[in-house]
Copies of this chain bind each other. A is one copy, B any other.
């Protein structure tokens, strides 16, 4: 089924204990689109870049089935840029540079050909921009999934609450869930957050897996214990892309199928961290994805 993705397409510069990069391809929208492309095509992307963006990166995304009709190119401006450094445990990082550039006044224009999408993934962006996308669609998609982060809780909580009220699935990490709900218990926090609007809540816990909540049900998806986490950048976005891509492919958003989608998202994310930026998820085969999903089955299965 048709999938619309909005999110940043940008440059990242990264420092990890394993090395550093100059400006490489980054952005939530890019990670989401490439991850989703393992399951469904085309991915209709809405985003914005500057004149400094590489035509080769656009071509690469197109080769992966990403429709870039909705990718605005502002020739006289610069692309969004983030530079960060990860500490030894890879669970904490510091931001060294953030240049909003074209994202500062991003007006998300939806091409006519993108209307009537069935699945909408709102990648991490200013919540009022995410809301605009919902409002600009003539028909509400079957399922709206939203990713966000604590940054917006700190500076745009009212906007964030308005947008959260409009979506079906919210995806945030554990600390963000605690902050948003004002409750340390994730079980209690989940109840409070679902009362804000979303019928489903995904709480991402990084190396500790992810929780999926719906009404009184809860599902715990493990994370694959990896020999090495090389670069965690984009892992959460890749998770979201695998999740929405699997749902769009199967066109089934029952709780049972959402569990499968969480596992597929987790599998994609486990690839993402193996190399810098999107390098690993650009070069994935269907067999590799299936084998990785099977590793999750082996990891989590038991019979009582």
User: Using a CB–CB distance below 8 Å, which chain A residues touch chain B?
Assistant: 88-90, 184-188, 190, 205, 208-209, 211, 217-223, 225-229, 256, 259-260, 263, 293-294, 297-304
* 6 shortest interchain CB distances as A-B pairs: A220-B222, A208-B208, A259-B302, A187-B225, A220-B299, A187-B227
Give the residue of B219, B220, B221, B225 whose beta carbon is less than 8 angstroms from that of A186.
B225
Q: How far is the CA of A218 from the CA of B85 in the complex (A)?
A: 31
If A208-B205, A220-B225, A222-B209 touch, whether A302 touches B304 (CB-CB below 8 Å) is: no
Copy tally for this chain in the complex stands at 2
If A88-B184, A208-B209 touch, whether A300 touches B300 (CB-CB below 8 Å) is: yes
Chain B nearest Cβ from A241, distance in angstroms: 18
- In the complex, what residues of B have CB within 8 A of residue A302's CB? 219, 221, 256, 259-260, 263, 300
5 contacts between A and B (CB under 8 A): A185-B229, A205-B208, A217-B298, A260-B304, A301-B301
- In the complex, what residues of B have CB within 8 A of residue A90's CB? 184
Q: How far is the CA of A185 from the CA of B225 in the complex (A)?
A: 8
Q: How far is the CA of A208 from the CA of B206 in the complex (A)?
A: 11
Q: Which of A220, A222, A227, A297 has the most CB of B within 10 A?
A: A220
Q: How far is the CA of A187 from the CA of B207 in the complex (A)?
A: 12
Chain B nearest Cβ from A155, distance in angstroms: 25
- In the complex, what residues of B have CB within 8 A of residue A186's CB? 225
Q: How far is the CA of A227 from the CA of B293 in the complex (A)?
A: 30
Q: Is A303 touching B208 in the complex (CB atoms < 8 A)?
A: no
Give the residue of B88, B294, B304 whose beta carbon is less than 8 angstroms from that of A297.
B304
If A88-B184, A184-B88, A260-B303 touch, whether A220 touches B227 (CB-CB below 8 Å) is: no
- In the complex, what residues of B have CB within 8 A of residue A300's CB? 219-220, 300, 302
Chain B nearest Cβ from A79, distance in angstroms: 33
Q: How far is the CA of A186 from the CA of B205 in the complex (A)?
A: 16
